[in-house]
Amino acid sequence: MGADRVKVNVNAMPRANYFPKLEKTDTSMYMLGWGGGSTDGIFILQPVLSTYNGKGDGDYNYGRYSNPKLDELTAKVKVNMNAEQRLKEIREALLAHNAETNHIPLHRQVIPWASRSNVTAVHRADNTVIPNWVTIQ
């Protein structure tokens, strides 16, 4: 098997069994969906990519990997109020994460909308419908 392949055996199970198993770190590989309305980098850096510390960092880092550079930058992002510097730190933290192979992206959820030809609606990135942004002709 080449270095660019991962072989897994799927062990599908109900959520009620799956998440307790992950919380005990009783898995060699796992699938985790993550997203939400906010696109701020801290909402993936802190809960998913940071080293688990039992105090809110890495709570969903079920693989328990650690990247000290990412942790250092995430700590800065948490408190930095300078938007330009903070964005630079977010980018550096993500680059530090991407320099290693800790996650294998499998799927990016896109929520398509459909409407009649006389309805125009703005499809926001966070999938929020703003009634004032919908027109019916």
Q: Looking at the domain assignment, is residue 118 inside a domain?
A: no
- Domain extent at residue 58: 15-109
pLDDT (tens digit per residue) in 58-94: 999 999 999 999 999 999 999 999 999 999 999 999 9
Q: Looking at the domain assignment, is residue 135 inside a domain?
A: no
Q: Looking at the domain assignment, is residue 65 inside a domain?
A: yes
pLDDT (tens digit per residue) in 10-36: 899 999 999 999 999 998 889 888 876
Q: Looking at the domain assignment, is residue 5 inside a domain?
A: no
Q: Looking at the domain assignment, is residue 1 inside a domain?
A: no
- Count of structural domains within the chain: 1
Phi-psi category of residue 25: left, alpha or beta, with phi > 0 → left and psi -120 to 50 → alpha: left
User: The whole model's pTM is what?
Assistant: 0.73
Which segments of the chain are extended strands (E)?
A: 119-121, 134-136
- Asked whether 85 and 71 are in contact (CB, 8 A), the reply is no
